[in-house]
Structure 1
Amino acid sequence: MDTLPTGRRQTDPVPITPTDDELARRRRRVYAASAIGSAIEYYDFLIYATAASLVFGPVFFASASPAVGVIASFGTLAVGYLARPLGGIVFGYFGDRVGRKSTLIWTLTLMGLATAAIGLVPTPDRIGVLAPCLLVLFRVVQGIAVGGEWAGAVLMSVEHAKSKSRGLFGSATQTGSAVGLLLSFAAYAALGGLSEEQFLSWGWRLPFLATLVLLGIGMYVRLAVVESPVMVAQQQSATAESGPAPLVALLRERPMRVLLGIGVYAGPFMAYATATSFLVTYATTRYGVPRHLMLNALMIATAGMLVTIPLFAALSDRIGRRPVYITATLLTVVHAFTVVPLVTSGSFALILTAYVIGLTLLNAAVLGPVGALLAELFPTSSRYTGVSLAYQFAGVIGGGLGPLLAATFVAPGGPGIIAVSVMIAAFCVVSAGCVWALGETRRADLYRIGD
């Protein structure tokens, strides 16, 4: 049958151009779906980080010394981050070739099932070494799922948005991740009435099993959105599926952009992951800071991010991604040397101050624009893959290796806590340099990048 230049058959109905009101409703719906879906995905992924800080050492590695148990626990945490690039590559391919929407349905389902499975893993006294092996296996599945999630959620929002508000719409995913972080802390804070024995024996499982309810909500929301218009235009192109695979095209044509994209968020990611996982363990075990003080401070600071993330994203739409991002990243260098003494002081006011500065202000200032910034680096045909690679390898460096190296530094014979601050500061300087090298991106045309 004859086809038109766009690839549409002559007998196909002529598409109806949506009205401005309908487009506005679609944008709001996509924004909400990206935020809610990401909140659920990141709740699932981050309750593991909280459990690694508080539970998995004594429960799954009880036979080891406390220091080795902490390192082993954060090792399983790092495995999830190491799996994220694989998820980015696999789901990036389908997201670039098949579509954003269907790929996001798969990532949400995979994440929900893996998280619920973690909540059902028996302890080593029942199944021996198989218990930590299952823990690692399901953490890998989590990593693969969230590795494919972030880029798709960002692109659905950014590609639906008007060019002058891409930063704000791209922040929907980051706002959702803050909600997920808040929910993960709230889930464990709600268990504060349990005794230590109850918490370690069965209480920690409840937040993992609750994800089955959240999975149903997320599926309902995501099924209601339409495909990205930028992706639809790509699919209607006569060359939509010609050429090499997205990963091959990126590594061949834009390797430096991929490397710089990875560097963009590696430092801030390390600062965030270390503050929300490693420092919780360090302060509670080394300095006897009550667990509930740490969680309450983190919840308050994270709640503030729900306001500041979109504000900083909107600011990046107005004055540019680069000035907002670089300023926050360099201030994080300074904060890296103040956060530890504040958190280990035992004073709730000082702990809260440390987290409000680190999360509500500095982390929010990079989270707001980073989605749009990365999306503006790559062409549509490989954008899902490119954004996934950049963000997820940054996660490997910052979120996976950061807390693990930090735990190693403070172990007996290590260089001590100052090495943790130096590590964070060094990577943040690198991130600021990468953003500077990429130049300003907010005026990029998403339909024409790479033409």
Structure 2
Amino acid sequence: MTNQPGRQPARASLAAFVGTTIEWYDFYIYATAAALIFGKLFFPSHEPFYSTLASFGTFAVGFFARPLGGLVFGHLGDRIGRKKALVATLSIMGVGTVGIGFLPTYESAGALAPALLVALRIAQGIAIGGEWGGAVLMAGEHAPKDKRTFLASFAQLGSPAGLILALLAFRSVAHLDHAALFSWGWRLPFIASAVLLVVGLLIRSGVGESPEFEAIKAQRRTASLPILDVLRDSWRVVLLCLGANVIGVAGAWFVNTFMLNYTTQTLGLDRGLILDCLFIVAFIQLFTQLASGWFAQRVGAGRFLTLAAALAMLSPWPMFMLVSTGKPVAIVIGIAITVMCMCSSYAVMAGFMTNAFAVRVRYSAISISYQCCAALAGGLTPLLGTLLAHDFPGQWWPLALFYSALAGISLVCIAVLERRQPRASRGEVPLAMPE
């Protein structure tokens, strides 16, 4: 099947979507368990706040490991090929996630339990750190130039799709009584990842290597140490791309992880209600991202991203007002407003970054930009949100201000990138390091 080049763009986009869906499913079930389960099972305390903080700490560990994954697999992807790197990342993620499902808890293993949890969480972080850049490039580099922004966005669709699967998995065990859920029910979503792993590897095997990478490999123009070239020649663009990604990365974990804990513990809302609301919003996110990639391809990625970041700055204020009512419809509308603004940026950023760097170092460059952002903005956001909620009890305006500041960082960095090279946002020229 891989000898049919006319079908490769569609197959590559599908493989990127399925692969990242599986990776994000694994990541999201950990996030959900960290918000609802792990604090009690692995970090028991008389004060729920400290248990939650410790649980979100292990959540952050996975983000801190992501730059390492981006560095290692970015190097491999730029040296030996995107496809081989992606098979490895998917396998590591699957093994790490299934392993979590079989872990002993603190009650039965003491300090060994959280230590093992952290170790497997690091494996997850390394895997997804290497996965994202390769999936984006396999979709984007197979695509025609005039469709790159749209087809590269398919890799980003894995985030809402993985969230939908994760919420379905946890919703299916949420009906269990408390004892069953905390004894064995929480393990099932993790163990089920083994089935998804097999499916993902089968689909990914049907896609050929990136034609752009094959071309520079045939010309013997691959970089010996791509990350050194990136840091020497394009460190400013890396930092700007890092900042441009903040709202897409931090916003997702603010809404899907911190808000899950905030609504259940601070507002006292029912766990099942919030999971149902997030489930509905995940479908809205999926279709919003698909539409965003299509629309941005026509109006210009940079222009679209600027508008999305500006709207994201305004979005948390109506969200908190609506969520604070405790009414299901208001909760869905409030969260959906924020998610639509956030995910519009997230969807388009993949193609935008693909055009920012030369092929020979592209895997390393976009991986280090995105994954360092993930380590800082994604890993720390739930922790900082929890601290703000604790320090300002009953007040949501500091949380809204925090979110607006995150969006403001992205807005500034996107604007600077546009000023440096306006045509790059339309995919016409690279921002840095021409071939």
**TM-score greater than 0.5 by the shorter chain:** yes
Q: TM-score, normalised by structure 2?
A: 0.95
Aligned counterpart for 2:274 among listed residues 286, 294, 311: 294
Structure with more of its chain in helix, by fraction = 2
Counterpart contact for 1:409–1:415, Cα < 8 Å:
no
Aligned counterpart for 1:380 among listed residues 324, 335, 359: 359
Please give the alpha-carbon distance, in whole angstroms, between the structure 2 residues aligned to 1:448 and 1:266.
21
1:403 is matched with which residue? 382
Counterpart contact for 2:357–2:431, Cα < 8 Å:
no
Please give the alpha-carbon distance, in whole angstroms, between the structure 2 residues aligned to 1:109 and 1:406.
32
1:260 pairs with 2:244: no
1:437 pairs with 2:419: no
1:420 pairs with 2:399: yes
Please give the alpha-carbon distance, in whole angstroms, between the structure 2 residues aligned to 1:372 and 1:277.
26
Counterpart contact for 1:192–1:292, Cα < 8 Å:
yes
**Cα offsets for 1:133-170 (capped at 9, x unmatched):** 11111101100000000000000000000111111111
CA displacement at 1:422 relative to structure 2: 1.8
Please give the alpha-carbon distance, in whole angstroms, between the structure 1 residues aligned to 2:304 and 2:432.
25
Aligned counterpart for 1:205 among listed residues 187, 204, 210: 187
1:133 is matched with which residue? 115
**Cα offsets for 1:290-317 (capped at 9, x unmatched):** 1111111111111122222121111111
Residues 412 and 433 (structure 1), Cα distance of their counterparts in 2 relative to 1, 3 Å cut: closer
1:319 pairs with 2:299: yes
1:309 is matched with which residue? 289
Please give the alpha-carbon distance, in whole angstroms, between the structure 1 residues aligned to 2:374 and 2:46.
28
Please give the alpha-carbon distance, in whole angstroms, between the structure 2 residues aligned to 1:31 and 1:168.
10
Counterpart amino acid of residue 372 in structure 2: F
**Cα offsets for 1:294-353 (capped at 9, x unmatched):** 111111111122222121111111110112111111111111223223223210011100
Please give the alpha-carbon distance, in whole angstroms, between the structure 1 residues aligned to 2:430 and 2:9.
16
Counterpart contact for 1:380–1:449, Cα < 8 Å:
no
Secondary structure in structure 2 of the residue aligned to 1:411: helix
1:346 pairs with 2:326: yes
Please give the alpha-carbon distance, in whole angstroms, between the structure 2 residues aligned to 1:293 and 1:328.
29
Counterpart amino acid of residue 315 in structure 1: F
Residues 110 and 305 (structure 1), Cα distance of their counterparts in 2 relative to 1, 3 Å cut: same
Residues 449 and 233 (structure 1), Cα distance of their counterparts in 2 relative to 1, 3 Å cut: farther
Please give the alpha-carbon distance, in whole angstroms, between the structure 2 residues aligned to 1:211 and 1:163.
35
Counterpart contact for 2:234–2:433, Cα < 8 Å:
no
1:215 pairs with 2:197: yes
Aligned counterpart for 2:89 among listed residues 101, 107, 111: 107
1:75 is matched with which residue? 57
Aligned counterpart for 1:191 among listed residues 146, 167, 173: 173
1:52 pairs with 2:31: no
Please give the alpha-carbon distance, in whole angstroms, between the structure 1 residues aligned to 2:260 and 2:178.
17
In structure 1, stretches of 5+ residues that fail to align are 1-17
CA displacement at 1:444 relative to structure 2: 3.0
1:92 is matched with which residue? 74
Please give the alpha-carbon distance, in whole angstroms, between the structure 1 residues aligned to 2:345 and 2:87.
27
Moved more, 414-423 or 346-355: 414-423
Moved more, 371-380 or 361-370: 361-370
Residues 39 and 203 (structure 1), Cα distance of their counterparts in 2 relative to 1, 3 Å cut: same
Please give the alpha-carbon distance, in whole angstroms, between the structure 2 residues aligned to 1:81 and 1:87.
10
Please give the alpha-carbon distance, in whole angstroms, between the structure 2 residues aligned to 1:349 and 1:445.
45
In structure 2, stretches of 5+ residues that fail to align are none
Residues 413 and 312 (structure 1), Cα distance of their counterparts in 2 relative to 1, 3 Å cut: closer
Moved more, 337-346 or 90-99: 337-346
Counterpart contact for 1:108–1:145, Cα < 8 Å:
yes
Secondary structure in structure 1 of the residue aligned to 2:222: coil
Counterpart amino acid of residue 371 in structure 1: A
Please give the alpha-carbon distance, in whole angstroms, between the structure 1 residues aligned to 2:308 and 2:431.
30
Counterpart amino acid of residue 54 in structure 2: A
CA displacement at 1:356 relative to structure 2: 1.7
CA displacement at 1:82 relative to structure 2: 0.8
Please give the alpha-carbon distance, in whole angstroms, between the structure 2 residues aligned to 1:374 and 1:401.
23
Counterpart amino acid of residue 135 in structure 2: A
Aligned length: 429
2:345 is matched with which residue? 366
Residues 296 and 414 (structure 1), Cα distance of their counterparts in 2 relative to 1, 3 Å cut: closer
Counterpart amino acid of residue 82 in structure 2: R
Please give the alpha-carbon distance, in whole angstroms, between the structure 2 residues aligned to 1:406 and 1:234.
45
**Cα offsets for 1:227-258 (capped at 9, x unmatched):** 0000001101133245xx11111111101000
Counterpart contact for 2:171–2:272, Cα < 8 Å:
yes
Residues 253 and 415 (structure 1), Cα distance of their counterparts in 2 relative to 1, 3 Å cut: farther
Residues 325-336 of structure 1 aligned to structure 2 (within 5 Å): 325-336=305-316
